[in-house]
Amino acid sequence: MPSPLVNPLREGITNRLTPEPCTLVIFGATGDLTHRKLIPALYNLAAEGALPPALTIIGFARREKTSEQFRKELEESTRKFSRTPLNDELWAQFASSIIYHQSPFDQGEGYTTLATQMDAADQNRGTGSNRLYYLAVAPDQFPVILSHLRESGLSTTTPGSWARVIVEKPFGKDLKSAQHLNTLVSEVFPECDTYRIDHYLGKETAQNIMVMRFANSIFESLWDSNHISHVQITAVEPLGVEGRAGYYDTSGAMRDMIQNHLLQLLTLTAMEPPTSLSADAIRDEKVKVLRSLRPLRGDDVFKHVVRAQYTAGLIDGQPVPGYREAEGVPKDSTTETFVALQVNIDNWRWAGVPFFIRTAKRMPKGGTEIAITFKSVPPVLFNSSGEGLDENVLVIRIQPDEGISLRMSAKMPGSSLRIEPVKMDFHYGTSFGKATPEAYERLLLDAMSGDATLFARRDEVEEAWAFVDGIEEAWKTRCDDLAFHTAGSWGPAQAADLAARHGVTWRRM
Amino acid sequence: MSFIPGIPVPIGGIEKALGKLWEESGESKTRASLINLAIYNEKPGSLERNTEITRSIAGEHAMRAILIEADLKAEGSSAEAWITMHCYLRGSKGGSVCSEQICFQLAGMAAHSLQSVVFSHLDSDLPLVLWWQADFHLPVNAKLWRWVDRLLFDSRHWKNPKEQFGLIRQIAGLAEARTVLCDLNWARSLPARQALAAIFDIPGNLSELQLLRRLEIDYAHGSRTTALLLLGWLADRLGWSLSNPSANPEFRDAHGNIVCVELKEAEGSSISRMKLASENAEFHLLRESGSDLYVTTAQGRNIAASSRMVCAPREETREILLAELSRGGRHPLYTKAVNAVEELWA
């Protein structure tokens, strides 16, 4: 006989934790993120029946508008951005759970009325006093929102209920600010109820890194310095700053991409097998990788890191302006739009294996991938000619065209012995034709279910900042190392030199 | 036969002919395969119907399709084969992704030799999903079933469910059996089960679940087995035991209370309406004719009234098959559901 506290009808229906009834409050509800990502993701979840029953969504923002207007705007944007077509009947039902709450973030009264609305939802819709707060606002708004949530009692819970907060990146701009931010959050929400979102972790292919490594026996046995020559992690795009100049110029590629997304991919690639699949077991191993990163400070930074900025050039045959010519960017900006760095992980598994990380804007094409290059075979037999055989390369493509490929050597047909590289290629889109869920769908559902596996823990964020801070500090001491490259090129010569010092060339994407 | 299921090939030359087909198709086509999907049918014309199905799912589930039309009663022995590809444009580069298909028409002795004639043409190392569109026969062929990773069938079409479920049990119970049983009828009931489960995710509703006294299920003509599977699932989940196996049966709950069940044929989808009632509350599940949605409502004393919509895929074979192929995994509750209403299958 099943326990009366557990819904016995749930068993066998899904193999994931069931999200619990709750009220989701989105701060910054009129912003781009809400319209492009959050509401379309929630709608798709609703269509699949994956949302908890009685979910109430309250959009909290400063602009004057009615709930009706808000829902109408959301309908338009969801129609545009949803991965599945909008079903009018279903939308009407879903939208009935959305309420707009107009208030400045810094006025206590707005939170008092928010509490009243949430209590009403508990009474009328059975949301069980569970609260999920989504801070879809700039980080400078975090303190005021968090302090009001605490002062108004909205972060405290009654027995059997929970209050969680989802924090969007950037989590600070350096270690100090990240620690400050984390302290602010932790004064209001315990770490176990804090969900720091990094949407890269919600991508299917990022999740598949662990599956590939630990659900296949052939890879993990080769996954170390005995067999791997080097690793390249790349995330590049042809886009420029596109309206984000204000944020981007104070951030740069290092803070915008490497501190979070690319170091997260690095940890998934380099981590040891976790003791279990629990959130903390996995995050424990990821943190160990960050702690094992050899710090880059002072002169080492200029030996191991290349920063650059794009100048005017051509993308897809069309002229594009240089970074300093973009609207909102100072003419003398030294913000990097390209970073290439070589890092070492000083642990037993990875000693001596260089990891190359590269991110850039205005590249000839876009894509994110992890390329693991294996060591060459010994210089005997087929590799004795001195020309050298191509190494085996395992590529995990995160986006686009998600998939995995393996390069290996094969004999060309014919009477003479000629060996050429061939590629075994697995494409998600080819084998699994159906559209994969958006990262935000998975992440929102996980937060409602209390599964923090795909969210960054405080120590992960801070360790990543500690590593990046060393580089940023060195950069402040001089700026003559800033290189320039033409938009539409693959980066400056210094980046090629950095790789060449290890006998490596950057991969063509 | 007016329908031509592809290029005719000698059975011994299928692989070679497939290779040639790929060579001639140029580099714009990519072969993809996740599974071997074999579909077995004993009715004339099945190759055409099943080709329609494989063509419609190949874009979402790459496979090597093997269609078999068997005439067990024919005299002598004959075997014919055809090959073809189902291709779909994929991505902006203009390339297409293709699934291979091999069709077999077998008669007499050849139709009794599936392992040797057909299963020698599997794509090695990929799982074998066998969709059995005929009745299961005695004696159970252990050698055949041990090849199969997933066995698909549809209990809705069975004229004698009691006998067929018995044979399914025998297949599942074979020594070293690893076959996963996948009743498409069970998959058909999934949206209703999901919608029902969601009602009781609300804590206030959950406490009523153990207090149910009445259950009503409206099912479409020919879908009584779907309704019985749903009933069996509820009975198993809630610890009910069958006390009166009649057309409208009665169960006893774990405390010995009677739960009355009314099964009624009605217009609409396979499961168009359900009502679950306790002394204090009523829970409804409704699917309007032609609708893609289940609407659930809850109302009663001491519970918050609520209403919800859940997408319910169209009940076409293609949709159900795709859902089943995408879902994967075992169905541990299926056998329990079947057993819970065993006396009602006659």
What DSSP string describes A349-400? Answer: TTTT-EEEEEEESS-SS-EEEEEEEEPPPPSSGGG-SSS-PPPPEEEEEEES
pLDDT at A433: 65
- Euclidean distance between CA atoms A206 and A264, whole angstroms: 9
Is the model's pLDDT at B34 over the cut of 80? yes
Q: Which two tokens mark B43?
A: 């009715």
Contacts with A, B 135-164, CB within 8 Å: none
- Across the range B123-127, mean pLDDT stands at 85
- Euclidean distance between CA atoms A163 and A158, whole angstroms: 9
- Euclidean distance between CA atoms A489 and A496, whole angstroms: 12
How large is the ipTM?
0.87
B108 Ramachandran zone, left/alpha/beta (phi>0; psi -120 to 50): left
pLDDT at A16: 66
**Fold topology of A23-168:** Rossmann fold (3.40.50)
Task: Indicate the DSSP class of residue A345.
Answer: B
Q: Which CATH number applies to A201-500: 1.10.274.10, 3.30.360.10, 3.65.10.10, 1.10.10.10?
A: 3.30.360.10
What lies within 8 Å, CB to CB, of A225 at 6+ separation is: A349, A350, A351, A352, A353
In terms of Cβ atoms closer than 10 Å to its own Cβ (0-12, 13-18, 19+), residue A213 is middle
A253-263 CB burial, b ≥16 within 10 A, e <16: bbbbbbbbbbb
Q: Do B333 and A12 touch (CB under 8 A)?
A: yes
A66 close to A103: Cβ distance less than 8 angstroms: no
Alpha-carbon dihedral A145, A149, A150, A154, rounded to 10 degrees: -170
Q: Which of B30, B203, B309 sits opposite A90 (nearest CB)?
A: B309
A344 close to A294: Cβ distance less than 8 angstroms: yes
Is the model's pLDDT at B203 over the cut of 50? yes
Q: What are phi and psi of A216, to 5 degrees?
A: -130, 130
A365 close to A280: Cβ distance less than 8 angstroms: no
pLDDT at B62: 85
Domain B187-344 class in CATH: alpha beta
pLDDT per residue as tens digits for the range A362-384: 999 899 999 999 998 888 888 87
Nearest residue in B to A46, CA atom: B310
pLDDT at A73: 95
- Euclidean distance between CA atoms A314 and A490, whole angstroms: 12
Nearest residue in B to A18, CA atom: B201
Contacts with A, B 164-193, CB within 8 Å: 190-191, 193
Which of B257, B264, B284, B281 shows the shortest CA–CA distance to B217? B264
pLDDT per residue as tens digits for the range B307-318: 888 878 788 888
In terms of Cβ atoms closer than 10 Å to its own Cβ (0-12, 13-18, 19+), residue B325 is buried
Hey, is the C-beta of B30 within 8 angstroms of any chain A C-beta? yes
What DSSP string describes A309-344? Answer: EEESEEETTEEE--GGGSTTS-TT----SEEEEEEE
Q: How far is CA A24 from CA A18, A90, A109, B143, in A?
A: 16, 19, 19, 55
Q: How many angstroms away from the CA of A444 is the closest CA of chain B?
A: 18
- One digit per residue, the tens of pLDDT, for chain A of length 509 reads 444 468 899 888 776 667 888 999 999 999 989 999 999 999 999 888 888 877 899 999 999 999 999 999 999 999 999 988 898 888 998 999 999 999 999 999 999 999 998 988 887 777 778 999 999 998 888 999 999 999 999 998 888 889 999 998 888 889 999 999 999 999 999 999 999 998 888 888 888 899 999 999 999 999 999 999 999 999 999 999 877 888 899 899 999 999 999 999 999 999 999 999 888 999 999 999 999 999 999 999 999 999 999 999 988 888 899 999 999 899 999 999 999 999 999 999 999 999 999 999 999 989 999 999 999 888 888 887 766 788 899 999 988 878 899 998 888 887 788 888 888 888 877 777 666 778 899 999 999 989 988 899 999 999 999 999 999 999 999 888 999 999 999 999 999 999 999 999 998 77
- Euclidean distance between CA atoms B4 and A404, whole angstroms: 38
Q: What residue segments make up the domains of chain A, in order of their start?
A: 23-168, 201-500
Cα first-last separation, chain A: 56
- Euclidean distance between CA atoms B262 and B185, whole angstroms: 20
- Across the range B10-34, mean pLDDT stands at 82
* Chain A neighbors of B310, CB-CB under 8 A: 49
- Euclidean distance between CA atoms B254 and B259, whole angstroms: 11
The helix (H) or strand (E) run that includes residue A420 is strand A419-427
Is the model's pLDDT at B182 over the cut of 90? yes
Mutual orientation of helices A204-214 and A263-270 as an angle, nearest 10°?
20
- Euclidean distance between CA atoms A66 and A224, whole angstroms: 58
Hey, is the C-beta of B239 within 8 angstroms of any chain A C-beta? yes
B328 close to B195: Cβ distance less than 8 angstroms: no
pLDDT at A349: 96
- Euclidean distance between CA atoms B298 and B285, whole angstroms: 9
Which residue shows structure tokens 């001596």? A352
- Euclidean distance between CA atoms B125 and B110, whole angstroms: 25
Active site residues of A: 261
pLDDT at B176: 64
Of the two residues B19 and B281, the one the predictor is more confident about is: B281
Q: What residue segments make up the domains of chain B, in order of their start?
A: 7-134, 187-344
Nearest residue in A to B204, CA atom: A126
Hey, is the C-beta of B254 within 8 angstroms of any chain A C-beta? yes
Q: Do B309 and A9 touch (CB under 8 A)?
A: no
Nearest residue in B to A13, CA atom: B194
Q: Do B207 and A4 touch (CB under 8 A)?
A: yes
The mean predicted confidence, pLDDT, of chain A is: 90
CA A55 to chain centre: 26
B183-216 CB burial, b ≥16 within 10 A, e <16: bbbbbbbbbbbbbbbbbbbbbbbbbbbbebeebb
pLDDT at A499: 94
- Across the range B254-271, mean pLDDT stands at 94
pLDDT per residue as tens digits for the range B85-120: 998 876 655 678 889 999 999 999 889 888 777 778
Task: Indicate the DSSP class of residue A109.
Answer: H
Of all residues in chain B, what percent carry a pLDDT higher than 90?
54
